[in-house]
Amino acid sequence: IAATDDGDVYSDDTTTIKTGMSSLNHYSFETGEDKLFIADGETMPQVWTGTGTADDIADPATDWSSTPPFQFVLHRRANSQRMCALTATTLYVSKSFATAGDLENFSDATAYAFPIETADGFGLVGMIEHNNELWIFGKRQSFRFDDTDTDPSNWGITPNLFVRSEEHTSELQSHL
């Protein structure tokens, strides 16, 4: 899979699976449910099944029409798999994978949205899955998605202790 700076996505050297995506932003690719999820932060996220062309995600969050996610990460916890999507201000968590199509379900009625305030003027910049934990990053602070409880109403975002400041950066540079 390759994305080009003209907004096209290719499955091999010559086969185009999507046109009209961002020509400026980086792309995020993630797999789940035998599908490829594609985000660019500018256009509606795409899903490709491995044949034909990529299509708009089946059940997007309502506000993705104006603020689409720039990254997908498949998050696993115990027997649960959920696709996570990130915008500059919010972590979205899909319905748990139980039947076909669930990882694409970010509809407001069934998925979960967790607004995250970074207080740095930049917003969220990325996320990773590490040892069944989902870590979300701003430019100066990181957060952990706390989904250890089986009841989703008890889930939330926990800020990590370290916050990068200009003072820390200057102090570190003086030791180099």
Residue 163's pLDDT band, with cuts at 50, 70 and 90, is low
- Separation of alpha carbons 59 and 21, rounded Å: 19
Q: Would you state the pLDDT for residue 172?
A: 44
Instruction: Write the pLDDT tens digit of every residue in 32-49.
Output: 999 999 999 999 999 999
Residue 70 pLDDT exceeds 90: yes
**pTM > 0.75: yes or no:** yes
d(CA 144, CA 157): 6
State the Cα–Cα distance between residues 11 and 127, nearest whole angstrom: 25
Residues 6+ positions from 54 with CB-CB distance below 8 Å: 9, 17, 18, 36, 38, 46, 47, 48
User: Which DSSP state fits 95?
Assistant: P
Written as six digits, the tokens of 9 are 């996505």
Confidence label for 161 from pLDDT (cuts 50, 70 and 90): confident
Closest CA to 110 of 66, 68, 157, 152: 152
